[in-house]
Amino acid sequence: MTDEPADAGERAIDLDAFYDALGGRRRAVTAAEIAETVDRSAGVATAGLDELASDGLIERLDVADQSAVWVPKAAASADERITVFEKRREIVVDQPAQYTRALLTQFAHLADTNREGGYIYTVREEDVWNAPYETLTELLATVRSALGGRYEALEEWIGGQWERAHKFRLVTHEDGYVVLEAKSADLLGNIAEPKLADGVLRARIGDATAWVADDRTAELKRTLYEAGYPVQDHRDLETGDDLPFELRPELRAYQADWVERFIDLGSGVLVGPPGSGKTIAALGIMSEIEGETLVLVPSRELAGQWHDAILEHTTLSPELIGEYHGGSKDIRPATIATYQTAGMDRHRMLFDSRKWGLIVFDEVHHVPSPIHRRSASLQAKHRLGLTATPVRETDDQEEIYTLIGPPIGTDWEALFDAGYVAEPEVEIRLLPWGSETHRSEYAAADGHGRRQLAATNPAKRSEIAAILRENRGSKAIVFVEYIDQGDAIAEALDAPFISGETPHARRSRLFDRFRRGEVETIVVSRVGDEGIDLPDAEIAIAASGLGGSRRQGAQRAGRTMRPVGKARMYVLATRGTTEEDFARNRTKHLAARGVRVREAESAAFGDRGDAGSDADEE
């Protein structure tokens, strides 16, 4: 290497080298990282980066201790305006560009949106604790790039939260037991010991270290997280027997990036839209780890899909793959089990007795719930979560990252633009009442009764028929929350209705017929919200939903997220009721990921507004 300048007319560092070093997953690079990529000295790299910055191709940010990082040039829209309220850690963005939204999701939470293109973000403790960066310098570089400048009070608070997230860590002692390490004796004595229940710490082994009971590590992590001190997990857990195999399909670039980032971290949660190939990426992680693997799923249908996916996409032979749930009790080197079964005392000892190299928590947003949380304490060297929708309406989604690992995600819009996933066109349709009688019943009711009357408004049957006529020939799924409503809609459409009451065998047959195209439209209850692979479903119609559940809204839209010609979701809501607000809230998570959401009037009733007519009978 040499420190001599490049020849005249030739850049010392070109833009391609900068993006190669950026690697697709980071938002900033240092001169040292560029130097390593192009095999030049740090001095040449710095000069080359400064040249690119002076030409307006990239941006330089001075972040700490007179060091600098370089970031991609922000592609802000002409209408974009960012206002930062430092004291309440709130960021208001009008007409944000894709680049800006992608940066903000790295360290902030989308709290609200409006129809005029306004986005409101808040920066919470857990957003900093779970930010996907190895250093505070990298995180602050992203913050400054997103906000277009430096906000000292906000950065000081972020720095404090970063420090809190690195006060405690779990390590493995040379004799094999688990140790809690604190940054200081005061932290151990004044924070950890008073907060933790008796028996979690077995004994002090130093001023700032303590022996941890093996079966209480999950409890320790959860307790300290709730106290404001997330624990870094650096235990050296055993992997059990080797399980070598190869992955058959070639990973897409972003999937390979997910695998690489997971291997670097040792644990984490893949957050990507339905259809982005999280299962294939998980199999790629399995093939890298080559250890015995337990896959936890919420349903028997999903267990069967995992079993088929492992056989189809890997070189593992059938005798190495087992299922453990209500229909099968077979533990093998690669085992798929339901959360409920794995958490039962009479079965749990079987799972505890094995040294898993990897545990995969599919639909990981279930983990904070009381039934599923017990499975999170199963021990494994690596822990992988998969979800499109980590948000939970109980606001305990931070436990996902506490118990499993930090988020590893991608920019949804990048996948839409690349054609890997079909971006759904999401439309909220506001409907009048089916008749004056139904409107009067709603006015006389209260509480849950009101919500159910709005959700089951008979006008929705005509609207669904109109939508299906608009999209004639497209495969469609109609989602309902109430059994009676599902029966009525299925009868009107002459389509099958699948609910939790449908026997398992018949449910599987109907889903298979839909996949093969023998049935063009199906009506489903919550059983279709997640864990069911329904490829090529082009239309999703949410006739009624679970209040304002953002997770459910994203899952239902996700049924159309596949690389197909068109993907549309319709959310039906009765005008003038709380269902309007519920519909907007259910689509909020999608808007945060760059999905376009618009509102429209009823197609079946035109501009009739709320005048009402007897539309109950067709």
For 334-384, how does the pLDDT look when each residue is reduced to its tens digit (9 = 90+)? 999 998 888 777 777 788 778 899 999 998 877 766 666 667 778 788 889
Most confident of 172-181, 273-282, 347-356, 370-379: 172-181
Average pLDDT taken over every residue of the chain = 80
User: In the sheet that 356-362 helps form, which strands lie side by side, from edge to edge?
Assistant: 328-329, 321-325, 334-338, 293-297, 356-362, 380-387, 267-271, 407-409
- Is the pLDDT at 609 greater than 50? The verdict is no
* Tokens coding 147: 């906000």
- More confident position, 458 or 606: 458
Same fold, 253-413 and 422-601: yes
- Is the pLDDT at 27 greater than 50? The verdict is yes
3-state secondary structure of 245: coil
Pick the CATH number of 422-601 from 3.30.930.20, 3.40.50.300, 3.90.180.10, 3.40.120.10: 3.40.50.300
- For the residues 113-142, what does the mean pLDDT come to? 84
What is the enclosing helix (H) or strand (E) of 212?
strand 209-212
Torsion angle of C-alpha atoms 441, 442, 444, 448, degrees rounded to 10: 120
Q: What is d(CA 266, CA 380) in angstroms, rounded to the nearest whole number? A: 11
| % of residues, the chain, pLDDT over 70 | 78
Residues 525 and 481: beta-carbon distance below 8 Å: yes
For residue 261, what pLDDT is reported? 87
Q: 136-155: per-residue pLDDT in tens?
A: 988 998 898 889 888 999 99
Can you spell out the DSSP letters for 489-507? HHHHHT--EE-TTS-HHHH
Outline where DSSP puts E strands in 370-458.
Answer: 380-387, 407-409, 425-431
* Tokens coding 519: 């049935």
Residues 537 and 562: beta-carbon distance below 8 Å: yes
253-413 under CATH 3.65.10.10, yes or no: no
Q: What is d(CA 97, CA 81) in angstroms, rounded to the nearest whole number? A: 10
For residue 451, what pLDDT is reported? 86
- Is the pLDDT at 291 greater than 70? The verdict is yes
- More confident position, 159 or 564: 159
Which residues lie closer than 8 Å to 119 by C-beta, 6 or more apart? 92, 93, 94, 96, 101, 104, 110, 112, 113, 591, 592
For residue 96, what pLDDT is reported? 81
Q: 194-228: per-residue pLDDT in tens?
A: 999 999 999 999 999 999 998 888 889 889 988 98
Most confident of 26-40, 99-113, 243-257, 408-422: 243-257
Per-domain residue ranges for the chain?
15-72, 81-164, 170-232, 253-413, 422-601
- More confident position, 119 or 274: 119
Q: What is d(CA 490, CA 495) in angstroms, rounded to the nearest whole number? A: 5
For residue 548, what pLDDT is reported? 36
15-72 under CATH 1.10.10.10, yes or no: yes
For residue 35, what pLDDT is reported? 83
Q: What is d(CA 183, CA 472) in angstroms, rounded to the nearest whole number? A: 64
